[in-house]
Structure 1
């Protein structure tokens, strides 16, 4: 299926991207080596000759190993520390630099934009509890409003980056997204999020997918879902705050609430802000 929720890690798009990142980081190869090391030569030979049957699957679980940039896909739990150490020893910096350059040069050769990839990389690193550099955190603050168009994912990243109870550098963070099985067991997505309300399908709109054609979820077509969702105490256009060396932020002359770091950001954000701007 395409997506079972409007949050982070709730679509095939995100899971496929995570798999691609795992491959790029060499985690598939690491998983294979660890799996071979945890099994005897006889077991490896048997597995190669005869794939594990359903009856044997439970017995093999104790030897199962999986490394992933997404903590929920790591097994056993000790694998999380292995991936975290790998990322903190240079791999995360390399990955961020690669996709930041693609974003800055306007490279759109991939189906998934580099800005979206940076958001998922950052979110995955948070699930592992990685120490994120201030420059990467600032990059995420500037990038996510224009790339996370699903409303729940946007709100999740806003909370992680700005709080309250957001991400603490170096500590594993839970975005609270339900997996597919958990979503099914809880009765499925809310009715208003479904692509086809009233039907048996659990599909909701996926990132970069076609919008719903009818029902309450049609509102996903609205341009307001691409609005930068920054808190009121940082620039409404780019997310910069006064601690970024920008000096005091300028207040909207009308509402005196929304702030901006420059006239350019205020002009860019006006097409959304005008809908909620009220005289102070």
Structure 2
């Protein structure tokens, strides 16, 4: 699975994931109903007028309304749970962090309302899912600004499609090969055939989030269930999620935990 650029939505893999999530969101079924209704009204070109998708939809307002009805929150919850599942369940062909990031990008592009806890999660993990260099810059700007994403306002990531990319190429820099074609493919992101950008299987940030989620009542530093005296574990004063057997264990673990210490995550 190749790519024609380093930005979001510039690879077959991205578009395949978007298609699957579009189906999970019930948008293809919604599209069928819209086409059927238009045909009943006598519109013979109905099938050419309706394309509901998380990316590049013909009716973004309809899609946004559908997602904001609770569908988006449900999708986010499922993708987040997949990302936080034990590392033994990691899918090397579909990085769960990458999927979560792509879902967030689709939602921002449509101008959906993203819960604050999800936006905070994206800000913590956007560097951990194997995004390409251009996609990283796009997500950083969308999440942190300037002129970043605002709930309810469609955000333009300015990613070029395949044809637009081909038409904008500099002829002097991209000469046709022996076969007569101009090569544009780079290694696709988001899975086993990755880009060297890393992924969530090796990310210390994702590892900490998974451990925090799977063992909330164990010491984040050494894994014990109580202090040496038998007293209950100490609680992280900031996030209220991580627990420790001693201040020494907490200080030692802080270099990892500080990256995800946020009370809104769960």
Give TM class, smaller chain: 0.5 to 0.7
Report the counterpart of residue 66 of structure 1 in structure 2. Answer: 51
Equivalent residues in 2 for 1:11-22 (5 A)? 11-22=11-22
Q: Give the Cα separation in 2 of the matches to 1:139 and 1:156.
A: 16
Normalising by structure 2, we get a TM-score of 0.67
2:172 corresponds to 1:187 = no
Task: Note the alpha carbon deviations across 1:188-216, whole angstroms, 9 max, x for none.
Answer: 79969xxxxx97221122113657xxxxx
Contact 2:83 2:97 (8 Å CA) reproduced: yes
Q: Give the Cα separation in 2 of the matches to 1:120 and 1:137.
A: 13
Pick closer, same or farther for the CA change 1:147–1:190 going to 2, 3 Å: farther
Q: Give the Cα separation in 2 of the matches to 1:34 and 1:83.
A: 12
Deviation at 1:115, TM superposition (A): 1.0
Equivalent residues in 2 for 1:125-136 (5 A)? 125-136=107-118
Equivalent residues in 2 for 1:1-280 (5 A)? 2-40=2-40, 60=45, 64-70=49-55, 72=56, 74-75=57-58, 79-106=59-86, 107-109=89-91, 111-187=93-169, 200-207=182-189, 208=191, 210=193, 221=196, 225-226=197-198, 262-264=254-256
Q: Give the Cα separation in 1 of the matches to 2:173 and 2:113.
A: 38
Pick closer, same or farther for the CA change 1:147–1:180 going to 2, 3 Å: same
Deviation at 1:41, TM superposition (A): 8.3
Q: Give the Cα separation in 1 of the matches to 2:108 and 2:23.
A: 19
Pick closer, same or farther for the CA change 1:43–1:88 going to 2, 3 Å: closer
Contact 2:95 2:199 (8 Å CA) reproduced: no
Contact 2:129 2:199 (8 Å CA) reproduced: no
Q: Any idea what SS the aligned residue of 1:148 has?
A: coil
Normalising by structure 1, we get a TM-score of 0.64
Q: Give the Cα separation in 1 of the matches to 2:172 and 2:110.
A: 29
Pick closer, same or farther for the CA change 1:227–1:18 going to 2, 3 Å: closer
Q: Give the Cα separation in 2 of the matches to 1:148 and 1:101.
A: 18
Quick check: which one's helix share is greater?
Answer: 1
Deviation at 1:29, TM superposition (A): 1.0
Deviation at 1:38, TM superposition (A): 1.3
Q: What is the number of equivalent residue pairs in this alignment?
A: 205
Contact 1:34 1:65 (8 Å CA) reproduced: yes
